[in-house]
Structure 1
Amino acid sequence: MTGTYEDRKALAAPLPTVRNRSLRRMYVMAVLTNLANPKVILFYLAFFPQFVTQGGWPVWVQFLVLGAILIVVGLAVDASVGFVSGSLSQLLLRRPAIKRWLDRVSAAIFCALAIRLVTED
């Protein structure tokens, strides 16, 4: 086996436990986070009026429909990212060699960015 004693010790260490939270609690936390973020409110105030028309449905119905569409699309995208991230994290936890490779690639990228930053005028 290669590597230092600390590397072998880290590999033998138990995996960190994740505190289980109910789906409802996580949803409420996400909603409160978004409501407390003024950028989200400003985005909606700037973005939605472009798609509201006079005539046809009442304005408040248009706002509700646009909001529902945005929520459904956002939920689909966020759920996909969450499931893929969870799968990738399990893969990384099972295979330390992949994590080591990713760490080295990240280090190389940061070194390249640092060199570029130092050499820029």
Structure 2
Amino acid sequence: MIDQTTLITYVAIVIGFVFIPGPATVLTVARATTSGTRVGLATGLGIAVGDVIHTALAVLGISAIILASAFLFSLIKYLGAAYLVYLGIRAIFEKAPANTAGSQSIRLTPGEAFRQGILAEVLNPKTAMFFLAFLPQFVKPENGSVFLQLTTLGIILMALGLTSTVIFALCAGSVGGFLKRNPTVVKWQGRVVGSIYCALGVRLAFQER
């Protein structure tokens, strides 16, 4: 069982981490502003599932194997980068819907957003490295099962991360509904969001181990 002092310290650090805008936040906000709050929430949920997968991989030691292999690390990194660039190009060339005031047309279904959120998070080796390097710092063998401690820490991180993306999605969804009433915003929205995706993909591709 994790002691109270360690748990409080861990939660405080994670809260500060998850509420600092990063790739997951950008992806969630972009989806919420372009396709609505439900799609933003689905994206955040998909990212949370991706974090659960990373937790399982870290606990089982598979992440260590991947990170020990330069080839596997690079393979996953470039797959993740390519996927983000693909989403960006798709958003840039996608035709804007002919919305009128009060229109509820959405450009992406929650199911699609959910799957994309999972893939974008799972295919990010930096997330795997974070889980592998960060979680063990709060594990103490004298507190019992290391496996249980790592699992608990991973679940807490996932839950707090999901909370932050939900908040960002709700706020962005409201702003997006307002912005869609402006034809100029509708015209350029996909290009801006697509450029963000491409930039995230390029950034991931050039990140070092």
Give the TM-score band, short-chain normalised. 0.5 to 0.7
Q: With structure 1 as the length reference, what TM-score do the two structures score?
A: 0.59
| Partner in structure 1 of residue 107 of structure 2 | 19
Which of 136, 148, 156 does residue 69 from structure 1 map onto? 156
Which of 27, 32, 57 does residue 119 from structure 2 map onto? 32
Aligned length: 85
d(CA) in 2 for partners of 1:69, 1:95: 40
- What is the CA distance between 1:95 and its match in structure 2? 5.3
Q: With structure 2 as the length reference, what TM-score do the two structures score?
A: 0.36
> Match of 2:149, as an amino acid?
Q
Deviations 1:95-121 (A, max 9, x none): 57xx6xxxxxxxxxxxxxxxxxxxxxx
Which protein has greater RCO, CA pairs closer than 8 Å, 6+ apart?
Answer: 2
**Gap runs ≥5 in structure 2:** 1-96, 186-209
> Match of 1:18, as an amino acid?
I
Q: Note the 1:72-87 alignment, pairs <5 A.
A: 72-87=159-174
d(CA) in 1 for partners of 2:137, 2:158: 18
- What is the CA distance between 1:19 and its match in structure 2? 2.8
- What is the CA distance between 1:20 and its match in structure 2? 4.1
Structure with the greater alpha carbon radius of gyration: 1
- What is the CA distance between 1:15 and its match in structure 2? 1.8
**Gap runs ≥5 in structure 1:** 1-12, 100-121
2:149 is paired with a residue whose SS is: helix
